[in-house]
């Protein structure tokens, strides 16, 4: 198990024990995939969201935010999550397909994406507005050229993120695009 997977599980475990008087409860989680589907690996986040969408669960919302994640805050607000998990391509200076848990507060200059609002601005807004925990999973792109598809190096990373989220948060998901 890689460190981002461990961090996801630990974060959810800590959030589920918010009240020590109560038994642990599932954390209402919104997964927000961001990126631009016409720019190669920049689509990694939205491909994760799209792969999760066929499933449904009352404690998991999946949002394909595309290149304008700020336009998707209404469904997230109505869902009232305990955690928002942003998934995006990010320049990590690692091998293509690397997946990392990132502290969104430290990502002001870190992105490979072409969306209108950087992840840290969205995270700051969601934290302040919803009083929720925000996490960011970054996937190192190989190619972000206009018209390119997902690269062979990033496809397995997308599949890994999808599988871990399914295993960690449940087999089914409530969807909203």
Element (DSSP H or E) covering residue 163: helix 155-169
User: Would you say domain 3-14+27-176 falls under CATH 3.40.50.1450?
Assistant: yes
Average pLDDT of 26-33? 92
Of 113, 97, 95, 114, nearest in space to 151 by CA: 97
DSSP 4-33: HHHHHHHHHHHHHTSSTTS---PPPEEEEE
- Residue 174 pLDDT: 42
pLDDT, mean over the chain? 85
Q: Quick check: 116 pLDDT over 70? A: no
Q: Quick check: 172 pLDDT over 50? A: no
Q: Quick check: 107 pLDDT over 90? A: no
């Amino acid at each position: 198990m890689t460190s981002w997977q461990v961090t996801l599980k630990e974060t959810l475990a800590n959030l589920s024990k918010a009240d020590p008087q109560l038994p642990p409860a599932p954390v209402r989680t919104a997964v927000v995939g961001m990126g631009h589907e016409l720019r190669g690996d920049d689509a990694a986040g939205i491909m994760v969201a799209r792969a999760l969408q066929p499933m449904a669960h009352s404690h998991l919302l999946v949002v394909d935010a595309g290149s304008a994640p700020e336009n998707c805050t209404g469904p997230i607000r109505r869902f009232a999550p305990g955690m928002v998990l942003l998934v995006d391509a990010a320049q990590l200076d690692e091998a293509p397909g690397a997946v990392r848990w990132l502290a969104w507060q430290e990502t002001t200059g870190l992105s490979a994406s072409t969306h209108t609002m950087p992840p840290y601005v969205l995270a700051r807004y969601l934290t302040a507005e919803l009083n929720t925990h925000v996490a960011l999973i970054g996937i190192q792109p190989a190619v972000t050229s206009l018209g390119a598809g997902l690269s062979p190096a990033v496809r397995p990373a997308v599949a890994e993120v999808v599988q871990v989220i399914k295993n960690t948060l449940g087999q089914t998901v409530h969807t909203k695009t």
